[in-house]
Structure 1
Amino acid sequence: MNAFTAIDPGAAVAATPTPAVQWAMPGALPADLAAQWDALALDAAEPNVFAQRWFVEASAPLASRDVRLLAVRQAGRLIGLLPLANASRYGRLPLPHDENWLHHHAFLGGPLLRAGHEHAAWAAILAALDADPHATGLLHLTGLVEHGPVHRALIQAAARPCDTVYRIERALLQSDLAPEAYYEATVRKKKRKEIARLQSRLAEQGAVAIRRLDDADDLDSWIDAFLALEASGWKGRAGSALACTPQTAAFFRAALHGARAAGKLELLRLDLDGRAIAILVNFLSPPGSYSFKTAFDEAYARYSPGVLIQLANFDMLDRDEIAWMDSCAAQDHPMIDSLWGQRRAIVRVTLPLAGVRSRAIFHAVRTLERLAAARKRPAPEPSA
């Protein structure tokens, strides 16, 4: 699988060398590919921490399917990398297809594409899948930023239908305002008064402090505190907390250690008398950032510790190197939507691979999807 496409070494060097494709497995990377993957993340047209090496390597052991990495190099330099997997079902249809692979806790699915090489990278990726004997007719891409550099380049390079089949909007923090000014401009006055009241009531319970993980702090003790907080609440009772299985706890620990080693980690905690009652995990990838996970002690739920720790997170607006933060939240999330005023559209797209059969499958599937969407739409109001 770690084989490059054949290139004639005696051929004349073109002004723009033809990209070469390499297949690899996350757990068995050639040393040069690992180093170039890290370098690509620093020069990506669109940052995506969930496609960076430290996150993919932490999450790949939990994959229920074989994950392949499709890497594209040009003139020896990595210009694109996309984790892929085969799927046996397309929605409710028993239709095998290829899709970008995302771990359950990954909230963005765009590949890493080198700035200035987006079109060439996508063209090489699609050509490789068109020729891949393991490919199964359709390519399904989840978690693309709508009209972002990755999405735009895909549409331009595809030379085939590239349909948006699902779309959500989630909260985004982005503003030129200072934190306090943003808070006042975005959060309605009545809610700000209520939050101030909650802050005062919590302060009556003991010493309140916001802490940020620094180089001297023991990361594992912070991770332990987060896992314990999350497991003590509704996620623990539902069996969905990270600590509920050794595998997901190990993933979380590996991801945070990997992020710290890569300089991508920020942890905030809200302490009461020195004990954490809320912890927020952020991943940083300038010019972007991601609010990855939050946990809080439900014994203090009446003080809204999840809201209070987000107030400290507004300090992100003061950082010159960070232009925005993705909430990674569900659409219409009541808490974060009330605090962050901007929205980011995330889409899922489907396109056919090469061949008449693939085109026929694509058009049949899209017809079924349009019919299903039409049935869900409310009937128009009768005219007066």
Structure 2
Amino acid sequence: MAEKTLVTFARNRIGYVICKNLAKNGIEVTAADSIKFAMSFFSRFVKDKAIYHNQHDNEKKFIDSIIKICLEKGITTIISGHEESYTLSKYQDKLEKAGIKTALPAYTQIKIAHDKNKITAEAEKLKIKTPKTYRFDSIADFKKNFNKIKRYPVVIKLTKTRGGVGFSKAISPEELFNQYQKTVKEFGIKKPKDFPIVQEYIDGYGLGVSMLFNKGKAVASFTHKRIWEYPPEGGFSVERISTHHKKAEAQAKTLLEKLNWHGVAMVEFRVDHKTNEPYFLEINPRFWGSLNQAVVAGVEFPYLLWQVANKKHFKPVFKYRLGVRTRWVAGMIVGLPAYLKSPARWRYLSSFFSVFSRNLYFDDFSFSDPLPFLMEFIKPLLDVFSGKSLREQDFEEVKRSY
């Protein structure tokens, strides 16, 4: 009998990739979400589906609904597809008592990793290079000290965010002065520890080092270089390529070891074009948007994480195919209008129409499993009718965290 596993956040490409990878390894998958039209519900790789309570509405009801689904369907393992992993981690003891297995970091670890102020401070203690960072604890503090910033451009970042929400770039003191205050007002930030950070802009490319740890020990690693992202100024990666960067990989490992990590995480860097020096940016303490990149290159993080959760032994995975490209098709399409206005328009268009390139794979489109991709486009239309786009929902959830 196949092992039964619940995959949460079935609405996007991350959950879809997890479902597909687990199913291909003989795991019986139940896709779950708090919405009815999640893209993975329509995949041929999914055996069953379930609806749970929205965690942002009520955490305890969310956990109770998850446990109820698992007990009713005979599910023994949960693999989380998104930020509900934070809540699942917070209630790990309750899940364990119900006989449900997970492979998640401790909630205290997640809180450190997810907070840009705290994790940047940890990286600095380990002598890991970060962009020069300016911290403020109030608007008054910002107005008094922002003129100490001499080099531009700079970027403004929320301490807790997702997918580039709240990210902006300023090329002058005047622009920084206005944009910083606008960001604080938009997100209703009041606590001193929550005020956005300002960092020097590193002229280079984005690099992600994705890792799986088993009780503080690295058991899998994968590195990708960003080719295109949306929004263009910084956000989701929509196309990327598998690579290696020994220094960044060593630093990612050191940082996660310091946290005594357990489970998956992606450590993000910005690599200077001129020096090839990596600068640490942040940790994504859960599965990441470019997950499919690792899977098709040979590092099957979803199945490996499942094995960790079920205490299965496997040989650590550190080798993979280089030069493999993956594309989030829907993301490339959504990003098209923005790139048509940018200096990179012709390069983007060239890449956009290169759909039959060698070693190119798609996150969300498959001829053998087309319905999830179709639903990926229908869902935003349904959101429009409900009055909230996906981006607006992300904005609201980030704002709620403050």
TM-score under structure 1 length normalisation: 0.28
Rg (Cα) greater in structure: 1
TM-score under structure 2 length normalisation: 0.27
Which structure ranks higher in relative contact order (CA pairs < 8 Å, sequence separation ≥ 6)? 1
